């Protein structure tokens, strides 16, 4: 009898530990840990005006597309500005409302010079290399290009936003391999788009597109064949209000800037909702019109918090169940990086042609809403810190 009691107690302990382990393992599906933010509105070094793009080079340096200042700022991992290049204009190396940037596997920085209807490339020091495209609807021409990404074969995929299509270029941008769809009319049919903003490729070659004005994400094979879509208009989990960017992390999960809802949503590769974070505001983990998302080789994530004129920095969520020595740990206090309970100052939604939350076609030049004065018990706007 005593032996049976011993076995029952042991079994209960095992099941209890397994249940707790499952609970904490599932926390790995939560949002990443907030680290800090940098930037404020201005034209001085280290200040931004509606930053819409972020990219990270192989050395961990952060490149910020300072959209309304028509320039790019290069910061080291600690947040020190190393380089500034670009000015307003249409000559080589100049910009008009650039919205996205991305590194190729060769370390070349490609920029969507959106209102100049072209792409430009630079080295990591900001030296101009080349330009591709002009205004038009022919192959290799653009109307307000925005999102761009590379697949494992070195092909570039570009969201030709104003032409409501995706263009696939071969390595070196020497030829157009595919145009999806072939016509350039906005549509809500499967495989068609209405002002697509974001594009990303996973390791299998599957292409994901944020179909912004249709409030959904569409999936395609590498040959352009439509696979599926997910998302409907709304603010509930899994719904979208003008999604503008998409990042695929090293685990294959999708992070989507749900810009009109001022949040980031995380999905698995099939489009199953995992978690979300963010709301309108200017404190930690809050956004005003979030735009491009970038991930470094160490898992560090940066998000262009466009309307707040800053960039937010996150780190991959650490699993609280396991210690560095590999033993099981049961946390005894709340996580230090959990959501803040500090009263926040809500920023009103100001529909304009420049805000993805507004009606009509989103502008290539996102303009942040004005920040109201603090009232009541709301906390003052915190000073963003360096990385």
Looking at residue 323, what is its pLDDT?
A: 33
* CATH for 220: 2.120.10.30
Q: Are residues 109 and 70 in the same domain?
A: yes
Asked if 252 and 269 touch (Cβ cutoff 8 Å), the reply is yes
C-alpha closest to that of 371 among 353, 352, 344, 346:
346
Q: Are residues 100 and 137 in the same domain?
A: no
Q: Are residues 168 and 271 in the same domain?
A: yes
Looking at residue 12, what is its pLDDT?
A: 54
What would the two tokens of residue 12 be? 């209960």
What would the two tokens of residue 227 be? 């696979």
C-alpha closest to that of 52 among 265, 292, 212, 278:
292
Mean pLDDT of the chain: 82
What would the two tokens of residue 201 be? 């490729």
- Indicate the SS3 state at residue 14: helix
Domains of the chain: total: 2
Q: Is residue 212 part of a domain?
A: yes
Looking at residue 276, what is its pLDDT?
A: 97
Q: Are residues 115 and 172 in the same domain?
A: no
Looking at residue 353, what is its pLDDT?
A: 35
Q: Are residues 118 and 138 in the same domain?
A: no
DSSP state of 135: B
Looking at residue 382, what is its pLDDT?
A: 37
Q: Is residue 110 part of a domain?
A: yes
Element (H, E) at 223: none
Q: Are residues 126 and 174 in the same domain?
A: no
Q: How open is the CA angle 182-116-96, to the nearest 5 degrees?
A: 140
Query: CA 84, CA 77: separation in Å to the nearest integer?
Result: 16
Q: Which domain holds residue 203?
A: 133-249+264-277
Q: Is residue 366 part of a domain?
A: no
Q: Are residues 138 and 272 in the same domain?
A: yes
Looking at residue 225, what is its pLDDT?
A: 95
Whole-Å CA distances, 226 to 125, 138, 191? 39, 22, 5
Query: Which positions of the chain have pLDDT values less than 70?
Result: 1-28, 318-387
């Amino acid at each position: 009898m005593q032996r049976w009691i011993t076995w029952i107690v042991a079994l209960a302990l095992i099941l209890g530990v397994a249940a707790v382990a499952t609970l904490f393992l599932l926390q790995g599906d939560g949002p990443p840990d907030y680290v800090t933010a940098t930037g404020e509105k201005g034209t001085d070094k280290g200040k931004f005006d509606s930053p819409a793009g972020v990219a990270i080079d192989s050395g961990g340096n952060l490149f910020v597309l300072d959209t309304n200042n028509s320039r790019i700022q290069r910061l080291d991992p600690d947040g020190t500005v190393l380089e500034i290049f670009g000015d307003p204009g249409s000559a080589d190396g100049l910009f008009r409302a650039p919205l996205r940037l991305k590194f190729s596997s060769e370390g070349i920085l490609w920029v969507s010079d959106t209102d100049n209807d072209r792409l430009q490339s630079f080295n990591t020091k900001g030296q101009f290399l080349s330009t591709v495209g002009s205004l038009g609807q022919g192959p290799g021409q653009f109307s307000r290009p925005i999102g761009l990404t590379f697949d494992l074969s070195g092909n570039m995929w570009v969201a030709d936003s104003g032409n409501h299509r995706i263009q696939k270029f071969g390595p070196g941008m020497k030829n157009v391999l595919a145009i999806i769809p072939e016509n350039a009319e906005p549509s809500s049919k499967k495989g068609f788009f209405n002002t697509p903003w974001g594009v990303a490729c996973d390791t299998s070659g599957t292409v994901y597109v944020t179909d912004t004005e249709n409030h959904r994400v569409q999936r395609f094979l590498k040959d352009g064949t439509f696979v599926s879509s997910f998302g409907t208009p709304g603010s509930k989990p899994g719904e979208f209000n003008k999604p503008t960017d998409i990042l695929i992390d090293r685990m294959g999960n999708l992070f989507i800037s749900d810009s009109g809802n001022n949040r980031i949503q995380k999905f698995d590769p099939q489009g199953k909702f995992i978690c979300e974070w963010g709301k309108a505001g200017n404190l930690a983990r809050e956004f005003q019109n979030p735009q491009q998302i970038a991930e470094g080789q160490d898992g560090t994530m940066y998000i262009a918090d466009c309307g707040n004129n800053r960039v937010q920095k996150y780190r991959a969520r650490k699993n609280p169940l396991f210690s560095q020595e590999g033993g099981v740990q049961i946390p005894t206090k709340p996580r230090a990086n959990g959501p803040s309970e500090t009263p926040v100052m809500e920023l009103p939604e100001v529909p304009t042609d420049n805000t993805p939350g507004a009606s009509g076609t989103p502008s290539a030049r996102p303009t942040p809403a004005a920040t109201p004065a603090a009232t009541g018990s709301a906390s003052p706007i915190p000073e963003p810190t360096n990385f």
